[in-house]
Structures are given as C-alpha cells and as structure tokens.
Structure 1
Amino acid sequence: MSPGSQLPTRYTWNLAKASGFCKTMALSTDDQIEFAVHDDAAALKRLFTLPVSARLDALAAMRGVSSFDTAGMEMLRQIHERGDGFRVEVDDPRYPAAVDRLGKADAWGQIKRELARAWDYQNAALPGIHHPDRIEVTLTLGNPDDPIFLDRTHGYYGMGATPGTIWMVAWPTDYNETRIGACAVHELAHNIRTPNVDGPFNLAEWVVHEGLAEVFTVEVCGPDSTGAWYQDVTGKVFDETWDKVVAAFGTGTTFRDWSPYVLGDDVARRVGSEPVGIPHMGGYAVGRRIVERYLDAKGLKAAQAIARPVNEIFEGAGVTPGKT
C-alpha cells in the first residue's frame, strides 16, 4: 500500500503526552502543513528581567502549561533545572546576550524558511503522505555550562517524533547558529515518518529514523548542514559501533534500554543506563550508513523512502538484525 492510498484523507492521531493526557492531532494527505513557529525571543528577554523566583511560572505561561498541571510543571523543571535548557533558578547575564545572538542569526526565521522548503521537497517527492495539519515549533535557550550539551552535541538539537510538535534547544555558537534551520528539517523528517509506519517503536526503528532524518537534511540543506554530532565515529570506531548497534536490534523494551545504542555512553550515564561502549551519537552514524546503503541500492532519495518499513530498509541495505 502506498502512503495514503487506502486510508481516508483525514483521520485523527491520538498522542499520549508526557503529562499523561492525550492530544487529538489531525492528520491529512493534502499538500499543506501550517508551521506555527513560536518566536519567543522577546518573551525570553522579558523573562530574564523578572525575579528568579517568578521565572518558572512565567516560562510555564509562555509554554501554555497551567501551574496546576503537576506533570507539565515537572517537565519544565526537568528541562530547565536538570536537562539541557537554560536554568530558571539562575540569574545569568549571558542569557539575554545569547537570545540576542539567536535573533541576529535569524534562528526563528531560519526555522520557518527551512521547514517550508523541506515540506515542498518532501511533498513533491511523495505526494499523498500522511502528515500533521499543523506543527507547533518551539526553540528554547540551552544551558551553556553542560559540556555534553555544548561540546559533544555542539549546543543544539531537537525532538520531533511526536506528530504536530517540534521542540528545539540551542545555545548559539559559531557552528550551530547557521544550522538551526537544518536541525528543524531533521525533526520534520521524524514528524513525517512517525504516522506513516506501522508496528512497534524499537531500537531498529529509532536508528532508521535518525538515519533517514540525517540524509533528508543533507538533501534539503546540503552536505555541511548536519553530521557534527557523530563526526568522530569513523574508521575502526565506526566498525565497532556498527557491530554493537546491529547486534542489539531486537533487544530491549524501553528508551532507557535503547538510548546507549543511539545516543552513546555519555548520555547513557546521565539517564541512568548502563554504558555499552558506544561513542557519542554513534547510533546516528550507523543509521545514516544503513539508509545510505539502502538508498544507493534502490536508487531513491530519503524523501522517497521516508515511509518505507524498517525491514525493507534493512533488506535493501544488506543488514540482518542481531547479526554483524
């Protein structure tokens, strides 16, 4: 079945949110997506003028989270007290300057333009694919004092596997300030693939997700637009990483089990998982190689393969899960 050929043009996608509630997300097979990019530069600048004690509530109001939403507030605390977001409990003069730098880099404008361009490319390559009617896009300021985030992850990344939502975090650097739009394109690939593939989410699907998203970004934004997260995973290190990741396909049942194989040992330790000898973002490098092999074998672009089942991609790439 080609994407959308035997399904109604519109149906609803029920998403379990981290808060425990479900959001009804409308999907479509038409050629339009509304990208609602929230330009929070001015709001963030205002937030940094408030007393520290008032900032969490102000941030919650920006994000549409009620102070009575216990789970939502805990998520904000996780991001901005223990995660990669700026620290709400810290009065840091670097924060307003960093927001200004994001503004001068036209970070929010990059996101709008690159998402629109990426969707035009995807829609031309595979019309009729299921996609959200509207995608809410949030870019927040990162934490400059975390070496894994700033040095290993180059101060930026996103999360986009939930259709209808893209969340991004960045601390501006010379490297990333021109690539924030490309990061959004990577997340759009996740937003598109998720509602178009059947079956349970697992390690193999996650690795293929990342590989497709990376190659899709290269197709839209160019060869230098992404790849720094795993640039050191080459040669013997790559070969060893490949063997470990492919051998782990079919194992584990949770993100905690799979994270070491995708995100690497540094992140595994942070989330309380057992390191498995994978370099930072090693699973991305493996996923990209799998996808590139498949695309080369089939003569396709990532945009044409965005909804192909993982087993088909493995077969075309010559990958046997659980074997190296």
Structure 2
Amino acid sequence: MTFTVLDTDASMAAVLDAAPADREDLIRTMLAPAAGMFRYFPGEVDLAQMHSFSMGFPLDRELGRTREALQQLREADVWTRIHTALNQAAEVQRRALPGIEVPDIMAVLTLGDATDGYFMNEAFGLSGNGGTTGYLMLTLWPTPVNLERIEAAAVHELHHNLRYAPGGIVWDPATVTVGEHVISEGLADAFARELYGDRLGYTPFGEPHLDDDEVFEKVVSGLTVTGMQNFAAWVLGDAAASRFGATPVGLPTGAGYAVGNRLVDTYLSATDQDASQALHTPSQEIIAVALDRS
C-alpha cells in the first residue's frame, strides 16, 4: 500500500506562470499521472476539459487571486497533511477489518474556480472524487473551513475508494441505486467523524439538513431509483441537477448527504459498530435496519 500525493504545487505554479497558449497543455501534463481516474468515461478524455468541468481554477483570468490561494495551500502544508491523514486512516481501517487490501492510491489536489457561484456557494468551495479505485481528487478553494478540515475531506474520499475496491461493494453505473450513493456518503462522513469528530467530519453542505424530516422523507422515497444520471438531483440537490443538466426533484443542496448520515448513524447505533467496521456492509442492509428503527 502506497499513498502518493501528486506535487500539484509546482505544477499549478507552472500553469499560472506560463504563456496563455501553453496553460492547457500544462494542465494536461499535471493531471496525466492521474488520468486513470477517468477510465470509465466514454471515449478519450481531454484532461484540460476535465479540469474545467471539475470546477478547476480558470486558466485565462483570476491568475493573481489563484496565486494567492496557492500560497495559502503552501502555508497550510496541505499536501503533507493529506498524506499523513490517508496513512493514519488506512491504519484505522485495517485494525477494524484485518486482512483488508488497501490499494495504492494517488491523491490529486487542485485549486477550484472562486468565480463559480455553484462551487463557492452551494458546494462551499470543495468538490471531491474518490470513487475510482486507486485515485482520489480534491478540488477546493482555501476558505478557513476547507483548510481546517482538509484531512477529513481526504479521508471521506478514501472511504469511497476502499468501499468500491476489488473485493468490496460493486458499483454498476447502470443498476446502482440512489440508496447506495446516499449510504456511501453517510458512511464516508461517519468514517471522517470517527477520526476527526463531528465538527470537522460532516461534509458542510449536508449538515444544515440533518434534522429536516421533510428532506429525510423525500430522499427515502427515492432510494430505489436507479442510474447515475439521477444522482445529482437526489443526492446533491436541485442546484446540482440544474448545473449538470438533470431534472430537479425538489431537494436542497446536500440532501442525500444529510439523509445518508442519519441512516448510517441509526444503523451503527443499532448494531454497535463504528463506520470503519461497516465499510463493506451492503446499503440495503443499512437502510433496512435504519428505517426499521426510525
């Protein structure tokens, strides 16, 4: 097991200092070691376009502001902190489930687009991707909250990586349910909270809806919906659905995360387990126990 945190500090600095015509190619070079993250996308993926689609920092404007943000990341020592957090979390997971295979993982940290209203307001300046075995990515803007909880955010994505690694839960894009996605987010948050406590462990955009029974009932009504094209609305909320071309269903941002936390916490309490012990528990089991106790 090896965790590699890509040196995007030097790479982002090179992009920002380059001539405009060279920046896209330099972004492609920066992301090339992690290109396998996008292996399930149809056709050939343009890494520069993927950077933009993932709300990465703009290449044609805001250069000074982005340089200042990059300096904030350096001063906060985020690359070292991510590496340390991943190793510590893997040890916790292996103690909970002896014999589990932790794959080699490459972590990629990149600055986001501070001019993107959805990214900054709805997503709180943080977007993560940890569902592809062997890779995880964090796109962020260095707000005080994001800098403080960088370890928790990395560990959340690590949990996704481990849940869907070979020998774990199988994620089939065509048949996977909203319930699986919701539970995976709840488990990942619960794992982050197991290590860092509730204040840092919750994904911020879901936290406001933790006690909203109307949101809970609405999300529960959609747990059996299948197909990843529906996840933006049911898990992330209407703003994300509108942003990514899906149909809104009447849910606030982060609704699925809030409901996932409630379901997972009810299950863990009922079974007297920690999140690390429930890594590979099927979502159907967690949902059934949680709803029976709700």
**TM-score, normalising length from structure 1?**
0.82
In the alignment, which residue of structure 1 is the partner of 2:131?
161
Quote the offset at 1:293 in angstroms.
0.3
The one-letter code sitting in structure 1 at the alignment partner of 2:56 is G
Aligned to 2:108: 138
Matches within 5 A, 1:164-179: 164-179=134-149
Q: Which amino acid aligns with 2:82?
A: I
**Separation in 2, partners of 1:198, 1:41:** 34
* Residue matched to 1:277: 250
Deviation digits for residues 217-273 of structure 1, max 9, x if unmatched? Answer: 0001222113221222144xx2111111111122232x2212201000110000111
Segments of 5+ residues of structure 1 without an aligned counterpart are: 1-32
* Other structure's SS at 2:5 match: strand
For residue 125 of structure 2, what is the amino acid of its counterpart?
G
More helix by proportion, 1 or 2? 2
CA distance in structure 2 between the partners assigned to 1:282 and 1:212 by the alignment: 15
Superposed, 1:1-324 pairs within 5 Å as 33-64=1-32, 71-73=44-46, 75-80=47-52, 82-90=53-61, 92-132=63-103, 134-195=104-165, 196-198=168-170, 200=172, 201-227=176-202, 228-235=204-211, 238-253=212-227, 255-318=228-291
Q: Residue type matched to 1:284 in 2?
A: Y
Report how far residue 172 of structure 1 moved. 0.4
User: What TM-score does the superposition give when structure 2 sets the normalisation length?
Assistant: 0.90
d(CA) in 2 for partners of 1:257, 1:203: 8
Residues of 1 paired with 2:170 and 2:139: CA distance?
29
How many residues are paired up?
Answer: 281
If each structure's strand is expressed as a fraction of its own residues, which one has the higher value?
1
- Using the TM superposition, name which of 301-310 and 91-100 deviates more: 91-100
Residue 109 of structure 1: how far off its partner (Å) = 1.1
Q: Percent identity?
A: 34
SS in 1 for 2:106: strand
Output the CA distance in 1 between the equivalents of 2:191 and 2:217.
Answer: 24
Structure number with greater Rg is: 1
Distance between the aligned counterparts of 2:24 and 2:287, measured in 1?
45
